[in-house]
Amino acid sequence: MRYAMAIDTRKCVGCADCVVACQTENNVPFGYARDWIVEIVEGSYPDTLKVHFESRRCHHCDDAPCVRVCPTGASHIVEGGIVKVTPEECIGCGACIEACPYGARYFHPDGYVDKCTFCDHRVKNGQDPACVSVCPTYCLIFGDLDDEDSPISKVLREREYYTLAPDASTKPNLYFLK
């Protein structure tokens, strides 16, 4: 089992429902976020201008630099390839924040580093992550890459996609559909 998420950049309208759902589901403090929306503008007006949105979060990398640099083991990978942080073991050194090429971690006001967990507490109960369940355009696709019949496996076979920071060689499990 290896969980992954794809964001359909043709469908995302930048509404941030995913951000609010995550904050609510995970009791993220006001002013903080485990996921966020980025507006990408390419080309020049009027001929080649293109705009799309990317819903971003932890990439749950197979080769996660944040896990490698954590001195206490607070950052670790659990079943399904989900990268997690155990708050009680985190000393707040920030090494994982510096190591992440995606800017996906933040200092929680309670003194530990926090990040997206793909809502593993929901996934364990057969539910989608909160962000996926509320998306009005159905642009977020989640599932098990090891299941060839899962929606994520199917869409990655059928559509062209890209990952961020390919030079980082992290083997991310967050994909952006073109």
**CATH number of the domain enclosing 9:** 3.30.70.20
Domain that holds residue 9: 3-177
| Residue 138 tokens, joined | 């159905």
SS (H, E, C) the chain: CEEEEEEECCCCCCCCHHHHHHHHHCCCCCCCCCCEEEEEEECCCCCCCEEEEEEECCCCCCCCHHHHHCCCCCEEEECECEEEECHHHCCCCCHHHHHCCCCCCEECCCCCEECCCCCHHHHCCCCCCHHHHHCCCCCEEEEECCCCCCHHHHHHHHCCEECCCHHHCCCCCEEEEC
pLDDT of residue 157: 97
User: Does the predicted TM-score (pTM) go above 0.85?
Assistant: yes
As for how many domains the chain has, the answer is 1
Classify each residue of 111-121 as buried b or exposed e, where b means 16 or more C-beta atoms within 10 Å of its C-beta: ebbbbbbbbbe
- The arithmetic mean of pLDDT across residues 140-162, rounded, is 97
138, 10 contact by CB (below 8 A): no
The reported pLDDT for the residue numbered 119 is: 98
The pLDDT tens digits for 70-114 are 999 999 999 999 999 999 999 999 999 999 999 999 999 999 999
